[in-house]
Amino acid sequence: MKKVSLSTTKPVGIVIALLCLTGATLLGVHVAHKNSAYPSSDSGELDAEVVHMASTVGGRLVELRVHVNQAVKKGDLLYRIDPEPYQLAVHQAEANLALAAAEVENQERLVAVKTANAEIAQNQTQRAQTNRDLAARTVDRLKPLAGKAYIPWQEYDQARVVLNNASVSLTESQKQASAAQLAIGDLKSSLAAQQAAQAALEQARYALKQTTITAPTDGYVTSLRVKEGEILAPSQVLFTLIANDSWFVSANMRETELAAVKPSACVTVYSLIDKHKALRGHVESIGWGVLSADSAGLGRTLPLVPRQMDWVHVAQRFPVRIKLDPAAPDLLRMGATATVEINHGAACP
Amino acid sequence: MLRSSARMFALYPLLFLGGCATHHAPSFSLFGAYFPGWMLCGIIGVFVAVTLRLLFVVSGIDAFLSLRLFTYVSLGVIAALLVWLVWFGP
């Protein structure tokens, strides 16, 4: 076997070696610079917003219009809960409202009657006043006559008794009049009862409306595993709807690369469902915080500082949220792996 | 012989440039797992270094070289970085 000497003194060889070394070093520096100026990540994940479909009311599932993995449009009927108990509740509330309205009318009649009674009492007060005035004048007239014995004292005494009676009657009728005035009352309580019944009816109608569930957005039905007949509790989730109106990529980028990641920067995204089709997106935001082992301790306790010799620190990564432009639906599945290239790649010329 | 080999060496980066015009994700899948693009570039660099060594030994260029370890490692690194630049570079 031929011995290969590493330390020859051929000048051509040394020049070639130096050229290669210099080239490799310069290219390495150039690539490192490019890599930090145009960051990329292959640990992205396709993400979308979801709606956990549930009704605020419970009952038996009587109609299920969708099946799993079906695409639905906004406003489509998804499912219906047995509306009968809620219709009955509406009927009951309507009857209660009618009762309250009748009570208002009843109260109006009562008030009218009491108003008339108060007027009568007022008139009686006037009559009592007139009678008392007459009795007073009679006493005044008879007093001198009785003093000169033109009339018997008996007659004068009778006139004074009549005056006293008339005064008592006047006081009584005045009190009666004010009591009758007070007794008229108003419609406030019955009107309030009517409003309460109205509110109860509207509540019952709202609950009835909640038995029909429509799609709040375009999307895909997922994790649906039941059929008609299932009993649902209020707010029980029947399935999850993946919203199809906005898709995102969540890519974790190292903190050293974040300076080059500006909001609204163009991003080339490849969904690895088909890694030859470049999707276009824009940086929407960068996560403001992640939970780290050092900050995970309870706030009240002392900081947990492990004894270690950690000379090498791995860079922390933060989730960058990238909003995708509209893309072919078969490339978009929640949780799919995605690679992202910020400010370069096929979609960002 | 020497001249044709030298020309071939000079053309090597261009060979890579020509073959990789298509755009795709900077990650390749193997048996259901994704590997980063730079790993592929590294493997290509190793292959290029080994292939160049064989070619140079066969063609006799190797006799003119000294510090062969550094030379071949540098050539492999250059090849790997060029592949990275062409495939995944901005």
* CATH at A265: 2.40.50.100
Judged by a CB distance cut-off of 8 A, whether residue B46 touches chain A is no
Reported as a pLDDT band with limits 50, 70 and 90, residue B30 is confident
Quick one: which of A273, A272, A297, A268 has its CA closest to A283? A268
Bridge partners, residue A219, by sequence: A72, A243
**Residue A301 sits in which domain range?**
40-82+216-342
pLDDT of residue A37: 86
Q: Judge whether A85 and A59 are in contact, CB under 8 Å.
A: yes
**Shortest distance, CA B78 to any CA of chain A (angstroms):** 5
Position A127 in a domain = yes
Closest among B84, B21, B89, B15 to B52, alpha carbons compared = B15
Residues A238 and A304 in one domain: yes
- Tokens encoding A258: 């974040």
A38 to B90: CB separation less than 8 angstroms, yes or no: yes
Nearest CB among B25, B64, B78 relative to A339 is that of B25
* A230, amino acid identity: E
Q: Identify which of A4, A13, A270 has the shortest CB distance to residue B25.
A: A270
Task: State the pLDDT confidence band at A2, using cuts at 50, 70 and 90.
Answer: low
pLDDT at A320 over 80: yes
In this structure, is the dihedral angle defined by the CA atoms of residues A290, A295, A297 and A300, taken in order, positive or negative? negative
Considering the domain boundaries, does residue A4 fall inside one? no
User: Between chains, do B27 and A339 touch, taking CB under 8 Å as contact?
Assistant: yes
Asked if A31 lies within 8 A of B64 by C-beta distance, the reply is no
Q: How confident is the model at residue A296 (pLDDT cuts 50, 70, 90)?
A: low
Determine the residue among A19, A42, A268 to mutate to test chain B binding: the one whose Cβ has the most chain B Cβ atoms within 10 Å: A42
pLDDT above 50 for B1 = no
**Quick check: B78 and A24 CB within 8 A?**
yes
DSSP E strand stretches across B1-90 = 27-30, 33-36
Q: What is the mean pLDDT of residues B62-86?
A: 89
Question: Quick check: B8 pLDDT over 50?
Answer: no
What is the predicted pLDDT for the residue at B18? 42
DSSP structural state of residue A133: H
Average pLDDT, chain A: 91
Mean pLDDT along residues A5-32: 83
Residue A13 within a domain: no
Residue A263 predicted with pLDDT over 80: yes
Report pLDDT for B13. Answer: 46
Please tell me if residue B27 touches chain A, with a CB cutoff of 8 Å: yes
For residue B26, which amino acid is it? P
Residue B90 belongs to a domain:
yes
Within a domain: A121:
yes
Q: Are A182 and A112 part of one and the same domain?
A: yes
Q: Indicate the number of domains in chain A.
A: 2
* Mean of pLDDT over chain B: 77
Taking an 8 Å cut-off on Cβ atoms, the answer to whether B65 and A16 are in contact is: yes
**Pairing verdict, β A59-64 and A40-54:** unpaired
pLDDT at A79 over 90: yes
Q: Is residue A277 part of a domain?
A: yes
Instruction: Please tell me whether residues A195 and A307 are part of one structural domain.
Output: no
Q: Work out the average pLDDT over A260-270.
A: 91
CB distance from B6 to chain A under 8 Å? no
CA separation for the pair B57, A152 (Å, rounded)? 169
Q: How far is A279 from chain B (nearest CA, A)?
A: 10
- Is any Cβ of chain A less than 8 angstroms from the Cβ of B24? yes
Same domain, A46 and A115: no
Mean pLDDT of all residues in A196-215: 96
Q: Which residue has the higher pLDDT, A250 or B28?
A: A250
Q: What is the mean pLDDT of residues A267-293?
A: 90
Q: Is B22 a domain residue?
A: no
User: Does the structure show a pLDDT above 70 at A244?
Assistant: yes
Q: How far apart are CA A253 and CA A258, in angstroms?
A: 7
Cα–Cα distance for residue pair A315/A256, rounded to 1 Å: 7
pLDDT score of B16 more than 50: no
* B41: enclosing H helix or E strand: helix B37-59
Taking an 8 Å cut-off on Cβ atoms, the answer to whether A345 and B85 are in contact is no
Q: Is residue B32 part of a domain?
A: no
Amino acid at A32: A
Name every chain B residue with its beta carbon within 8 A of the beta carbon of A20.
Answer: 70-71, 74-75, 78
B37-59 vs B68-88: helix crossing angle, rounded to 10: 140
Whether residue B50 lies inside any domain: the answer is: yes
pLDDT digits (tens, 9 = 90+) for A111-166: 999 999 999 999 999 999 999 999 999 999 999 998 888 988 899 999 999 999 99
What is the rounded CA–CA span in Å between residue A197 and residue A256? 64
Task: Write out pLDDT tens, residues A62-78.
Answer: 999 999 999 999 999 99
Please tell me whether residues A78 and A221 are part of one structural domain: yes
- Report percent pLDDT > 90 for chain A: 71
A194 in the same domain as A141? yes
Nearest-CA distance from A248 to chain B in Å?
17
Question: Residue A95: which of A188, A212, A204 has the closest Cα?
Answer: A204
Distance CA A277, CA B25 (A): 8
Q: Residue A1 falls within a domain, yes or no?
A: no
Residues A250, A320 contacting (CB under 8 angstroms): yes
Sorted by sequence, the CB contacts under 8 Å of residue B40 that are 6+ apart come out as B28, B83
Note whether A221 and A311 are same-domain residues: yes
A280: closest CA of chain B, how far (Å) = 13
CA distance B31 to chain A (A): 14
* Residue B7 clears pLDDT 70, i.e. is over it: no
Largest CA distance in chain B: 46
B5 pLDDT more than 70: no
Pairing state of beta strands A266-271 and A317-324?
Answer: unpaired
Same domain, A144 and A288: no
Q: Does B60 touch chain A if contact means CB atoms closer than 8 Å? A: no
Tell me, yes or no, whether A6 lies in a domain: no
Number of domains present in the structure of chain B? 1
Enumerate residues 6+ apart whose C-beta is below 8 A from A73.
A215, A218
SS3 A319: strand
Residues A117 and A69 in one domain: no
In single-letter form, the type of residue at position A259 comes to A
Residues A182 and A107 in one domain: yes
In a domain, A18, yes or no: no
The helix or strand, by DSSP H or E, that contains position A285, with its residue range, turns out to be strand A278-286
